[in-house]
Amino acid sequence: MEGREGTSIPDRPAPPGFVLELAGARLAFRSAGFPLRDVHDYYIPFLRPLRASADVEFLVRAGRFPRRPASARALYRAPGNWRVYRERDGYRFETMDLELRRTAQVARLDPGLTRGEVFVRPRRGKAGGSGPSAPTWSLHQLVGPVATHCLIRFLAHSPQPGLLCHASGVIDAGRGILFVGRSGTGKTTLWEFWRRAGATVLGDERTLIRRLGGEYRVFGSPWPGSRPVATDASAPLRQIYLISHGTRHSVRPQGLTQSFAAVYPQVYGPRWDARTRSAQLQVTEDLLRSVPCSALSFRKDPDVVAFLRERHGAAMRGAAR
């Protein structure tokens, strides 16, 4: 699949309604009487025309926030800028403006996190202005955390399940490769080495995985880490590496228990949603039963790409015999 890249130019205008397509999941955004703006360029490769149906739908409104009922139960308060509540008929997300120290948006979603309204605070005019400016909203602010959690939940419970993983991904000769590890273990380093070697690079921080057509595929996402590139591309996932720095390049196949212990903690999931976390356990196990997983220790040298390419070539030659 040909990839499309986005770089770091911010605040592109958006059409009145559009779809964000991620790993085949369609997230639709519409506004109620005002234009959508502030679409960071990372999202541009993943935008699609608005059609009749979508997997998740958001209607964005400007104006007064709906009152939080006294019966609303706090489920999770993220350190910093957002919190989620359980209301009688669904969920409520409140996102804070850390600079102004006030609520920036409120989302009210159905119990399945597939439909909802997002209320945004109209921005005021610049100093010296005569009054409120036209209301605008930030796609990036809505996607994290509201739409991200909707996507995570949709993928976990889909008949074609998937995960959002703290990992970097590349496509080399049509083969998807995933590098999984905690921060500081070399995800971005390997991403850069593969980019220089001519591979199609996906995210260096968050990568999507989904089972489609009977096999797991790896997908780019609009959430890069320290490298400002977001690529809309996918390929069959043929290898997972659990990475660490070392003094030489070495690869050791891992069993299911070892692989699961390393991969599952790197799967993004809602701590407040036990049912979705349970579904993600099953998806992770199925993924690791379906795709080979090995521990990769590597020294910080670009020749690790040639080392892995030779290993993959030998494996393919062995399978062809």
**Cβ distance 72 to 94 under 8 Å?**
no
Name the stretches of the chain with pLDDT < 50. Answer: 1-2, 6-14, 125-129, 317, 320-321
| Domain finish residue from 157, 175, 198 | 157
Based on the fold, state whether residues 145 and 188 are members of the same structural domain. no
Based on the fold, state whether residues 152 and 183 are members of the same structural domain. no
Based on the fold, state whether residues 211 and 129 are members of the same structural domain. no
Based on the fold, state whether residues 181 and 138 are members of the same structural domain. no
Based on the fold, state whether residues 315 and 173 are members of the same structural domain. yes
At residue 132, the pLDDT reads: 54
Report residue 81 as tokens: 């800028």
Based on the fold, state whether residues 137 and 252 are members of the same structural domain. no
| Domain finish residue from 94, 123, 157 | 157
At residue 106, the pLDDT reads: 96
Based on the fold, state whether residues 135 and 151 are members of the same structural domain. yes
Based on the fold, state whether residues 105 and 223 are members of the same structural domain. no
Domain CATH for 296: 3.40.50.300
At residue 246, the pLDDT reads: 95
At residue 137, the pLDDT reads: 75
Based on the fold, state whether residues 121 and 17 are members of the same structural domain. yes
Q: How far is it, in rounded angstroms, from Cα 93 to Cα 107? A: 5
At residue 39, the pLDDT reads: 73
Task: Could you list the beta-strand ranges (E) of 132-224.
Answer: 162-172, 175-180, 200-201, 206-212, 215-219
Which domain, by its residues, includes 276? 162-320
Count Cβ neighbours within 10 Å for each residue of 84-117 and write b for 16 or more, e otherwise. bbbbeebbbbbbbeeeeeebbbbbbbeeebbbbe
Q: How far is it, in rounded angstroms, from Cα 147 to Cα 156? A: 14
Q: Compute the Cα dihedral for 109, 230, 204, 36 and give only its sign.
A: negative
| Domain finish residue from 109, 137, 157 | 157
Task: Count the neighbouring beta carbons within 10 Å of the beta carbon of residue 214.
Answer: 7
Report residue 115 as tokens: 């439909």
How many domains, in total, are found in the chain? 2
3-state secondary structure of 192: helix
Report residue 228 as tokens: 């400002």
Based on the fold, state whether residues 47 and 168 are members of the same structural domain. no
The residue among 218, 214, 220 whose CA lies nearest residue 20 is: 220
Helix, strand counts (H, E) of the chain:
6, 19
What phi and psi values does residue 133 have, to the nearest 5 degrees? -85, 175
Whether omega before 49 lies within 30 degrees of 0, making that bond cis, reads no
At residue 36, the pLDDT reads: 64
Based on the fold, state whether residues 15 and 106 are members of the same structural domain. yes
At residue 321, the pLDDT reads: 46
Span 146-163, pLDDT tens digits: 999 999 999 999 999 999
Based on the fold, state whether residues 259 and 201 are members of the same structural domain. yes
At residue 88, the pLDDT reads: 94
Strands 293-298, 234-245: pairing kind: parallel
At residue 35, the pLDDT reads: 65
